[in-house]
Amino acid sequence: MRAVFSLLFLLSGTTSTLAYDLVISGGRVIDPETGLDAIRNVAIDGDRIAAISEFPLHGDVIVDAAGQVVSPGFIDLHAHGQNIGDYRMQAVQGVTTMLELESGVLPIGEWYETQSAKSLPINYGAASGWTFGRIAAFSGTDPLSTTAYFQDAQSRNDWKNEVATPERLDRILSLVEQGLDEGGLGIGINAGYAPGYGQKEYFALAEMARDHGVATYTHVRYASNIEPQSSFEAIKELIGNAAITGAHMHICHINSSSLSDIHAMLDMVEEAQANGINISVEAYPYGAANTVVGAAMFSGDDWRERMSSTSENFQLGKDRLTEEQLADYQANNPGTFVTWHFLDEHEPMDLALLDASVTHPAVLIASDEVFWSYFTDDGKVLNYEGDAWPLPEKVFSHPRSSGAFAKVLRSYVRERGLMSLSEAIRNMSLMPAQTLEDFVPQMRSKGRLQIGMDADIVVFDPETVADRATFENANQMAVGVNTVLVNGAFVVRDGQLVLDAAPGKPIRRSID
Ligand SMILES: [Zn+2]
């Protein structure tokens, strides 16, 4: 007893005159790295966590977190939107860092300048984008760091279907390498959008990643349950390149790339990892993808059979497409983003396939967030670039863009008990940080709730946290997230987005 009193005296003696900038008091603090899961007070000074204590801490500002969970902010390795509304919809579900690693962009330096001018609420970053390099090499243009560059290129087929000549391969590789030299977070390889590339091209990208000490992030070449040109073949190609070169190669959305063959893919991943191959894996918790309607995977005579799909599997806005509409968009507006339903979550067998990927211990959660878009009066689909909040009613996206992380907490943790809270938090914060930290030093202080770490923190109510977005109306914010701090600053306070909050910092490799 005396020891407790003297400790209390010591603590009050050292902290009574000094108040921390901010204290989150009395919450259930979960740190997936140390295994801490207990009621604690967390103090923040500046942009860092300064103290974590069982005893009361003095703060200039106090956030009462009684009954709530305090966890590291969620880190999304796979998100495409680049407008302030995209980042805000992620922030209100607890995401504090959002990275475009799968598609990547080019040129990287220009992209970071553009994003920096947007005064973003959460941290941002991107990989060097191979598809941008490939489009540039085949079209004889310079890559632009905009999604429009990628969308406009959907009407050309050469970069999707042809093996590069030696000259073109040189240009592709030099553009990608320039992106790494400008601080890109690795190499984004959207292979499924250009499945005609040669084996040597992908191998060269793996070697480049190895030489620069970075990872590749691949949407694999094929998504098909039928051989040849199957999901199995595509993931085996990736693992083979990782094994031979020693490069760290990350598999994007194994759920949608595997379709109904997920168990074979997860078995292959397990065997490869057990043999020391440096691969990491992500999934998003939905049975539908979002992609351009002119994507190469929806071409050729047999794509319907290979992907078990008809026009009915495609959704644009609230409606499913007819065969006539699908043919029209593919011919005239192939860069249009559509939702493609590959599993039906209402069917228990389909849901079990999705659950197998989401709950696998080797699989981290990444949203594959996509731009908020709207129909113009003449029927075109444009990305919403405005800063209205809440987002205007007319905008639509995939529900994962506002609900992927909240859905894991609601459905997988609370409602169905398929994951523990600490497992879910690990998969959404620590694992993504660890995926990058060998070559992105900034990530070593993220994904952890420990003294000295970045104050990227989310406080949520485990009983009410939920996604509300549906395929018919994705434009519904997640609920139950009460506080989000990014670099020590409020982005969500008392459950409301702080409109002028702009503490987001670039996540970027050093460029000296
Ligand atoms: Zn993808």
Please write the tens of the pLDDT for every residue from 170-194: 999 999 999 999 999 999 999 999 9
- Find the range with the poorest average confidence among 9-18, 36-45, 321-330, 499-508: 9-18
Res 56 pLDDT > 90: yes
Buried b (16+ CB within 10 A) or exposed e, 234-255: bbebbbbbbbebebbbbbbbbb
Q: What are phi and psi of 137, to 5 degrees?
A: -65, -35
Confidence of residue 479 (pLDDT cuts 50, 70, 90): very high
- Asked if the structure places residue 474 within a domain, the reply is no
Q: Assess if residue 424 is contained within a domain.
A: yes
74-76 sheet: strands from edge to edge:
74-76, 95-105, 123-129, 187-189, 215-218, 248-251, 279-283, 363-365
Length of the chain: 512
The residue-averaged pLDDT of 149-176 equals: 95
Residue 426 in this model has a pLDDT that exceeds 60: yes
Distance (angstroms) between ligand 1 centre and the Cα of 367 equals 10
On whether residue 327 sits in a domain, the answer given is: yes
Measured CA to CA, the distance from residue 237 to residue 387 in angstroms comes to 42
What rounded mean pLDDT belongs to the chain? 95
What domain count does the chain have?
Answer: 1
Among the ranges given (117-131, 171-185, 301-315, 458-472), the one the predictor scored with the smallest mean pLDDT: 301-315
Cα of 102 vs centre of ligand 1, distance in Å, is 7
Res. 14: pLDDT tops 60: no
| pLDDT tens by residue, 368-396 | 999 999 999 988 889 999 999 999 999 99
- The span from the CA of 162 to the CA of 194, in Å, is 8
Ligand 1 centroid to residue 154 C-alpha, Å: 15
User: What separation in Å is there between the alpha carbon of 253 and the centre of ligand 1?
Assistant: 7
Q: What is the pLDDT of residue 151?
A: 86
Expressed in angstroms and rounded, the spacing between residue 67 Cα and the centre of ligand 1 is: 37
Distance from the alpha carbon of residue 496 to the mean position of ligand 1, in angstroms: 31
Find the 192 Cα to ligand 1 centroid distance in Å. Answer: 8
Q: Report the C-alpha gap between 11 and 411 in whole angstroms.
A: 41
Provide the token pair at 4: 């407790």
Count CB-CB contacts under 10 A for residue 297.
Answer: 22
DSSP 8-state code for residue 163: P
Residue 10 lies inside a defined structural domain of this protein: no
* CATH number for the domain that contains residue 322: 3.20.20.140
What's the gap in Å between 216 CA and the centre of ligand 1?
Answer: 13
Q: Is 115 helix (H, G, I), strand (E, B) or coil?
A: helix
Cβ partners under 8 Å of residue 508, min gap 6: 112, 125, 183, 184, 185, 442
Average pLDDT over residues 13-31: 84
More confident residue, 136 or 512: 136
C-alpha span between 168 and 170 (Å, rounded): 5
- Inside any domain, residue 135: yes
- For ligand 1, the distance from its centroid to the CA atom of residue 475, given in whole angstroms, is 21
152 in a structural domain: yes
pLDDT at 17: 57
The pLDDT of 238-255, averaged and rounded, is 98
Render pLDDT for 274-312 as a digit per residue (tens, 0 to 9).
999 999 999 999 999 998 999 988 998 899 998 889 999
Is residue 310 in some structural domain?
yes
How far, in Å, from the CA of 73 to the mean position of ligand 1?
23
CA 272 to chain centre: 23
Q: Identify the band that residue 9 occupies on the pLDDT scale cut at 50, 70 and 90.
A: very low
State how far the Cα of 22 lies from the Cα of 60, in Å rounded to an integer.
6
Q: List, in sequence order, every residue forming a beta bridge with 283; answer none if it has no partner.
A: 365
For residue 319, report the distance from its CA to the centre of ligand 1, in Å. 22
**Secondary structure E strands in 9-94:** 20-31, 36-45, 48-53, 59-64, 69-72, 74-76
- Give dist(CA 141, CA 54) in Å, integer: 60
Give the mean pLDDT of 226-253. Answer: 97
Confirm whether 51 is domain-assigned: no
Judged against a pLDDT cut of 70, whether residue 7 lies above it is answered with no
Cα 290 to averaged position of ligand 1 atoms, centre (Å): 8
For residues 490 and 61, give the distance between their C-alpha atoms in angstroms, rounded to a whole number.
Answer: 11
Question: Using a CB cutoff of 8 Å and minimum separation of 24, what contacts does 198-203 make?
Answer: 198/163, 198/164, 198/169, 199/237, 200/169, 201/163, 201/164, 201/169, 201/172, 202/237, 202/241, 203/241, 203/244, 203/245
CA distance 96 to 367: 13
Among 216, 136, 139, 145, which Cα is nearest to 174's? Answer: 136
DSSP 295: -
* Per-residue pLDDT, 2: 38
- DSSP annotation of 141: -
Q: Mean pLDDT, to the nearest integer, of 127-139?
A: 98
What residue numbers bound the domain in which 112 lies?
74-445
Q: Is the pLDDT of residue 3 over 50?
A: no
Q: What is the mean predicted confidence (pLDDT) over 337-357?
A: 95
Band (148; pLDDT cuts 50, 70, 90): confident
> Before 121, cis peptide (omega within 30)?
no
Residue with tokens 């390889």: 189
CA of 80 to the centre of ligand 1 (A): 10
324 class by beta-carbon count within 10 Å (0-12 exposed, 13-18 middle, 19+ buried): exposed
Ligand 1: distance of its center to the CA of 55 in Å? 46
d(CA 512, CA 509): 9
Read off the pLDDT of residues 251-264 as tens digits, 9 standing for 90 and up. Answer: 999 999 999 999 99
Q: Can you read off the two tokens belonging to residue 198?
A: 């040669």
The region that residue 385 occupies, defined by phi over 0 for left and psi between -120 and 50 for alpha, beta otherwise, is alpha
13: confidence class by pLDDT, cuts 50, 70, 90: very low
Put residue 317 in one of left, alpha, beta given phi > 0 → left and psi -120 to 50 → alpha. Answer: left
Give the pLDDT band of residue 317 (cuts 50, 70, 90): confident
pLDDT of residue 454: 98
Q: Which of 111-115, 352-356, 380-384 has the lowest mean pLDDT?
A: 380-384
- Percent of the chain having pLDDT more than 90? 89
End-to-end CA distance of the chain: 56
Output the CA 7–ligand 1 centroid distance in Å: 54
Q: What share of the chain is helix, strand, coil (3-state, %, to 5)?
A: 40, 25, 40
Beta bridge partners of 4: none
